[in-house]
Chains A and B, each alone.
Chain A
């Protein structure tokens, strides 16, 4: 496991197809996070697929957060799941028929001495519609975006790569 330190290299990967309604949720989250994390040491990238591309996307990082849509039907649309690679990762874009799974990609990296993150966390959002062309998320998934972004940032704070906001007391009225 990567040490908790502020100089750890961290990447956020937003996966998805921006044209297929809720499939875009990972990409939309990445867009917002790129803006919010500008000026920090965290890199934010987007990709249409994971698979073998994970090796390129994750090489050289200590930790990674991957955001993707999922059709798991374990909760209503907009439900956010936190997954780790110890579990199967059945998100939409983590693997394709044309490619290998995250586990294989990671094993390949190890075999070929490519440095890959010691810790990877997935945030997957239950999608409602991913087969219709459209550039708008469905309302339930759109509504989940702020919470999704907050949870990714909370993960970064837990890793101490992002400062925890301090709770400041309201200024006392001057007397």
Chain B
């Protein structure tokens, strides 16, 4: 909810300069908000992305049974319930020191990859797609899914809708409701997969791989064959040299469900590889007075402010980061696409934020290929889907790669399994510092000497849209298609110009 053009905790405009507020609709609660301060010359001095706070999660969790956390945390955020459900379930495995049997693990991974594919497809066609498929300079009214469909055809539109529905149906069959999954239990899952369901999943997985290949082709045809778009992706405005973090398997390939967290420097050198249990040795949170968002940084490197480079502890998560830390992909088609991306964008790591859109499509392909592998595995229909816990609980930490990056759940309990402490590190926190730098850089590139480009709204939005930030995990976020407004104020606070997008 925006009640005024200023936000509590925001710094005063330096030197009494002017302030531009990019304010997604004034009547809404809980959105991210961007404040841009101009200096006396009319250039950008600082830009801030502010996020309101959700209060009281830890207190809310205390006193509840740890076993209920997969259901409770899946309700935190309607955007990625399956990611929270799975991170919580893995934290319970750790809490009770149980490993799921092979079928339990396979079912979890099947559901998780279906979820990742569905979420990535949603982002590509509905959110990121409009910027590229329709074009970053296209009128806002056309830059949406309808514009995408106008370009790619209604048949494709129907395919996208149908594929998302079928992936969601798979999640529902294997794991209960999509919104509130009831799949994960400590040591396994609630129910086995029936042989007839496995056959159904195999058909779906084969179609999903074709769908992902088609999506990659759309990206290549529309984006890569357009030199302007490639120039935009590789432009300095959207480039930051930071560390990267992502989960890899024992062969150094991205895995969304399980593995070790790996960190590379801006030069691509590995500096850490750790299990979820050790996360507090590697990840710390920085607080700024102007945002409720906690900015994660690499503890061994330290917080050096909003600066780039190997000396700064700022890192990124999400699709591009996952590909940047890995040596390759675990599936053949995704591997081909991976090699091509690094060839085109000039080697690893890629520092271009908009490369996330390409990496996301490669991950979509990987998720569907992995889905196909799991659906073909005879172990999927084994009836032994759970290892029963026997030890007394005390502490559990679980990690998954959510669509938007590394997600960590950490619980402490008494010996009855009642929560005494709960901490979540959500993906968007991992990207928060880099996103803040991105917004500022985009603003600086687009505002100069009191001249504000009309493309400002979209370009600044693009700087953080690439991460698909899940502010919903820490707040409600209501940007996207909502109207945006930039108010440019003179030194006395008078409105000089208003740029509005309805």
Contacts and interface: CB of A to CB of B under 8 A. Distances in A.
A114 interface: yes
A133 B157 contact: no
B170 to A, nearest CB: 15
A48 B78 contact: yes
Interface in B330-381: none
Looking at B52, B471, B480, the one whose CB has the most chain A CB atoms below 10 A away is: B480
B79 A111 contact: no
A3 B179 CA distance: 33
A17 B60 CA distance: 14
B41 interface: no
Interface stretch (A99-107, A147-155, A163-171): A99-107
Q: How large is the interface on B (under 10, 10 to 19, 20 to 34, 35 or more residues)?
A: 35 or more
Interface string B451-483: 000000000000000001111100111111110
B126 A19 contact: no
Interface in B75-119: 75-79, 81
B145 interface: yes
A98 B161 contact: no
Contact of B76 (A19, A47, A100): A19
Interface of A is mostly: loop
Interface string A93-128: 101111111001001100111100000000000010
B480 A98 contact: yes
A133 B146 contact: no
Contacts of A8: none
A100 B60 contact: no
B29 interface: yes
A100 B144 contact: yes
Nearest to B469: A97
A133 B480 contact: no
Interface in B115-130: 122-123, 126-127
A157 to B, nearest CB: 30
Contacts, number: 130
B476 A92 contact: yes
A132 B56 contact: yes
Interface stretch (A36-44, A49-57, A138-146): A49-57
A97 B157 contact: no
B199 interface: no
A5 interface: no
Contact of B477 (A52, A88, A96, A104): A96
A133 B472 contact: no
A162 interface: no
B114 to A, nearest CB: 16
B231 interface: no
B165 interface: yes
Interface string B12-33: 0000000000000101111110
Contact of B60 (A107, A114, A134): A134
Nearest to A55: B161
Contacts of A18: 75
Contacts of A52: 122, 126, 145
Given A111-B154, A130-B29, A96 B480 contact: yes
Contacts of B27: 71-73, 90
Nearest to A27: B75
B161 A112 contact: yes
A127 B481 CA distance: 23
Interface in B478-492: 478-482
B133 to A, nearest CB: 15
Contacts of B161: 55, 112, 114
A108 B149 contact: yes
Interface of A: 17-20, 23, 46-49, 52, 55-56, 71-73, 88, 90, 92-93, 95-101, 104, 107-108, 111-114, 127, 130-134
15 contacts: A17-B75, A17-B76, A18-B75, A56-B168, A88-B25, A92-B30, A93-B78, A95-B480, A97-B472, A98-B123, A98-B477, A104-B146, A111-B154, A112-B157, A133-B56
Given A98-B472, A112-B158, 4 more contacts: A90-B28, A98-B79, A131-B29, A131-B30
The 7 A-B pairs of least Cβ separation, nearest first, read A48-B78, A133-B60, A71-B29, A97-B477, A97-B479, A97-B480, A49-B78
